[in-house]
């Protein structure tokens, strides 16, 4: 069943037009069709709010605790993606964790390059604290660029002397915007989603001629000391495999409580294909257990 599921996902992806043939507007529209393809379960309450910096959505599955939050940062290379494309994934994580999720609609490049997304995520965290949510009841989580933004947010909070969240979850994180890892070559034929050419275009949109190794751009090169516990999940068939491995190595060397899970045969952010993949459901269950543990509710 699992082999069949990933095969069907790959067949679906093969029918999509190559990213480099689409405009940014077309790619954004394509991504947001997930709202129809993967609808959010009707028992999840969706409430749009205007947080201080950017709009966001409260996602509340039935029976979850209201004093704990997953602050979710969607993927899309800092250029595409929104709550509409990732609502189903964030809601599933919230349900598994037994908490609410705050799904942030942060600003996108190239209209709003670095550090706009980071400033929005930091502001959202501060807004949560202002709502009376204790820092030890907040986990920051994200996929792909959102996984890198998760680490950058934790670093920015630390460097600004703000209270430390309970933990961070990084799904297929993009943490090295030099895009130079060996897995870009070794996994190129296996990865149906991410290519070096496409990711180079996203990098240009986000950072332009800026320093690709700046710690808050590429957290792989940051001093990771004093970060909260991290859970990192990555697929064995994705070109960002070495980003995740490098993050785990650097975090461990800095004394961070970090867990890396490599899921064989899985592709970039396989969690997004939750209705089609048993592995997506199981990975989200792991995330839920991690969140409950760091929230002290395991």
The reported pLDDT for the residue numbered 1 is: 37
Specify whether 12 is catalytic. Answer: no
Q: Which of 74, 88, 96, 238 is catalytic?
A: 238
pLDDT digits (tens, 9 = 90+) for 121-153: 999 999 999 999 999 999 999 999 999 999 999
Residue 298: pLDDT over 80: no
Q: Which of 86, 88, 268, 271 is catalytic?
A: 268
**pTM for the full model?**
0.97
Residue ranges and CATH numbers for the domains of the chain are: 2-294 (3.40.50.1820)
Specify whether 144 is catalytic. Answer: yes
**What average pLDDT does the segment 169-173 reach?**
99
Query: Alpha-carbon distance 266 to 144, whole Å?
Result: 14
The reported pLDDT for the residue numbered 4 is: 66
Show the tokens assigned to 187.
């996994």
**What average pLDDT does the segment 186-199 reach?**
95
Residue 102: pLDDT over 60: yes
Specify whether 238 is catalytic. Answer: yes
Residue that the structure tokens 């993967």 belong to: 38
Q: Which of 85, 96, 121, 144 is catalytic?
A: 144
């Amino acid at each position: 069943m699992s082999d069949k599921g990933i095969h069907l996902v790959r067949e679906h992806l093969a029918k999509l037009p190559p990213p480099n043939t689409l405009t940014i507007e077309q790619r954004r529209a394509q991504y947001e069709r997930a709202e129809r393809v993967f609808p959010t379960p009707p028992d999840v309450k969706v409430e749009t709010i205007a947080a201080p910096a950017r709009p966001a959505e409260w996602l509340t599955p039935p029976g979850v605790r209201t004093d704990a939050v997953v602050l979710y940062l969607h993927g899309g290379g800092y250029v595409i993606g929104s709550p509409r494309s990732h609502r189903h994934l964030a809601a599933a994580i919230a349900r598994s964790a037994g908490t609410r999720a705050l799904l942030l609609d942060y600003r996108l490049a190239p209209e709003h390059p670095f550090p706009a997304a980071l400033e929005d995520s930091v502001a959202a965290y501060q807004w949560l604290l202002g709502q009376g949510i204790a820092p030890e009841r907040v986990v920051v989580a994200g996929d792909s660029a959102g996984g890198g933004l998760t680490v950058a947010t934790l670093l920015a909070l630390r460097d600004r002397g703000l209270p430390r969240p309970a933990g961070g979850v990084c799904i297929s994180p993009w943490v090295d915007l030099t895009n130079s890892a060996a897995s870009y070559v070794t996994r190129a034929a296996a990865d149906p989603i991410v290519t070096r050419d496409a990711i180079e275009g996203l990098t240009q949109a986000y950072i332009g001629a800026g320093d690709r190794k700046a710690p808050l751009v590429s957290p792989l090169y940051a001093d990771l000391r004093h970060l909260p516990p991290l859970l990192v999940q990555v697929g064995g068939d994705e070109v960002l495999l070495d980003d995740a491995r490098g993050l785990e190595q650097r975090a461990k060397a800095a004394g961070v409580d970090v867990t890396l899970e490599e899921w064989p045969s899985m592709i970039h952010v396989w969690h997004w294909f939750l209705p089609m993949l048993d592995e997506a459901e199981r990975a989200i269950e792991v995330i839920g257990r991690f969140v409950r543990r760091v929230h002290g509710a395991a």
